[in-house]
Amino acid sequence: MNHFPKEDLETLSEKHVVEFSRYLVTERKVSASYQNSAINSIKFHIRKVLCCRKEPYSDTLL
């Protein structure tokens, strides 16, 4: 949410998730555990907050 402040959360795409993941690795240099937590937070938001029955992103990415 903070990484894309001008984007509507419901319009974020897989491209945005990949961009955010790369940012965590290259700019923030976070651990694999932190990266995993970030991705799981995104998955939780999609599944529980947005109430999507089918995730818009592939399971291989998430």
What confidence category does residue 31 fall into, taking pLDDT thresholds of 50, 70 and 90?
Answer: very high
> Helix, strand, or coil here: 1?
coil
What confidence category does residue 26 fall into, taking pLDDT thresholds of 50, 70 and 90?
Answer: very high
Is the whole model's pTM more than 0.95, yes or no? no
Closest CA to 43 of 25, 57, 32: 57
Token code pair at residue 32:
């694999």
49 compared with 31, residue with greater pLDDT = 31
Under 8 Å between Cβ of 9 and 42: no
